[in-house]
């Protein structure tokens, strides 16, 4: 192995699959051998059987759908606010000086700490859950995009100014195209964080969703159901991650060079 040297696609896929095979093999060995009690960790077969029961008898597909809707809704709301504000902060230093202290302060506030207040303000309905995801995502996106836009190569900006571009033209034709692949990558990363926020929101005062199923399974000591819910979250995240990467490759082919 050499640092930063890429590997062929098939080998990359094989290595990725190998980790999951080893992980499940270790899990099966620990549970089937009795090394770990079923009370604390269900074996893979029990987990799959419990998952099948959840889907066929308890409408778990509906819980999955509502959780996906909550994640996308809160994340899209955060992106609508954060992307233009982050670009403005990265492009214009007065805007950055005005907003950055508050954004830097707010991004350290855990979204879970707002759950009791949001329940008080918005109840336990969908608005509360969307706001948890929004608060957890928006400030991270703003600051990361501002840094990305602000790191645009100065020679590109100076060349545009030399050719007669106006300030708005520099932003529209230089800064945004140069930062677009980085912005897309930021959105991909923060979408993963949004999943942690929605589960927190669903653990408290919720009657549906994956998080609600997990907390209900905890009361029954049904570790198989809990693990199945966690794995479903991971699988959805993995699929969305690959989709994001594929879309980014199509939209920003110049970033692959």
Q: Is residue 39 part of a domain?
A: no
> Considering the entire predicted model, what is its pTM?
0.87
Tell me the per-residue pLDDT of 240-249, one tens digit each, with 9 for 90 and over: 888 888 888 8
Tell me the per-residue pLDDT of 26-35, one tens digit each, with 9 for 90 and over: 999 999 988 8
Say if residues 149 and 95 touch (Cβ distance below 8 Å): no
Give the residue with greater pLDDT, 167 vs 148: 148
Q: Is residue 24 part of a domain?
A: no
Total tally of structural domains belonging to the chain? 1
C-beta pairs of 71-76 under 8 Å, 24+ apart in sequence: 71/133, 71/191, 71/194, 71/195, 71/198, 73/126, 73/130, 73/133, 74/129, 74/130, 74/131, 74/132, 74/133, 74/134, 74/137, 74/194, 74/197, 74/198, 75/133, 75/137, 75/190, 75/191, 75/194
H-run or E-run covering 128: helix 126-150
Q: Is residue 134 part of a domain?
A: yes
- Of the chain, the percentage scoring pLDDT greater than 70 comes to 97
Mean pLDDT, residues 169-175 = 86
Q: Is residue 220 part of a domain?
A: yes
Q: Is residue 60 part of a domain?
A: yes
Range of the domain at 146: 45-256
Say if residues 55 and 113 touch (Cβ distance below 8 Å): no
pLDDT at 132 over 80: yes
What angle separates helix 9-32 from helix 44-57, to the nearest 10 degrees?
100
Q: Confidence band (pLDDT; 50, 70, 90) for 216?
A: confident
Tell me the per-residue pLDDT of 42-74, one tens digit each, with 9 for 90 and over: 999 999 999 999 999 988 999 999 999 999 999
Q: CATH number, domain at 222?
A: 1.10.3720.10
Q: Is residue 204 part of a domain?
A: yes
pLDDT at 257 over 60: no
In angstroms, the CA 81 to CA 103 distance is 13
In angstroms, the CA 176 to CA 155 distance is 15
Q: Is residue 152 part of a domain?
A: yes
Mean pLDDT, residues 110-134 = 86
Q: Is residue 1 part of a domain?
A: no
Average pLDDT score over the chain: 88
Give the residue with greater pLDDT, 91 vs 4: 91
Q: What is the pLDDT of residue 112?
A: 82
């Amino acid at each position: 192995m050499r640092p930063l040297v890429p590997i062929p696609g098939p080998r990359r896929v094989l290595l990725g699959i190998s980790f999951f095979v080893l992980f499940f093999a270790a899990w099966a060995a620990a549970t089937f051998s009795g090394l770990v009690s079923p009370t604390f960790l269900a074996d893979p077969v029990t987990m799959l059987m419990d998952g099948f029961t959840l889907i066929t008898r308890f409408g778990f597909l509906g819980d999955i759908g509502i959780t996906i809707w909550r994640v996308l809704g809160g994340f899209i709301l955060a992106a609508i606010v954060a992307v233009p504000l982050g670009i403005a902060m990265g492009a214009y230093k007065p805007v950055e000086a005005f907003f950055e202290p508050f954004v830097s302060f707010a991004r350290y506030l855990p979204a879970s700490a707002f759950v009791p207040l949001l329940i008080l303000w918005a109840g336990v309905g969908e608005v509360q859950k969307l706001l948890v995801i929004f608060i957890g995502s928006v400030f991270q996106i703003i600051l990361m995009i501002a840094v990305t836009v602000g790191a645009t190569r100065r020679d590109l900006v100076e060349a545009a100014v030399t050719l007669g571009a106006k300030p708005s033209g520099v932003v529209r034709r230089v800064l945004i195209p140069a930062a677009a692949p980085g912005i897309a990558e930021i959105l991909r990363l923060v979408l993963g964080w949004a999943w942690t926020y929605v589960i927190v929101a669903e653990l408290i005062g919720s009657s549906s969703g994956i998080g609600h199923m997990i907390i209900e399974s905890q009361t029954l000591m049904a570790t198989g159901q809990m693990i199945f819910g966690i794995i479903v979250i991971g699988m959805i995240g993995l699929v969305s991650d690959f989709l994001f990467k594929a879309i980014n490759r199509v939209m920003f082919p110049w970033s692959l060079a």
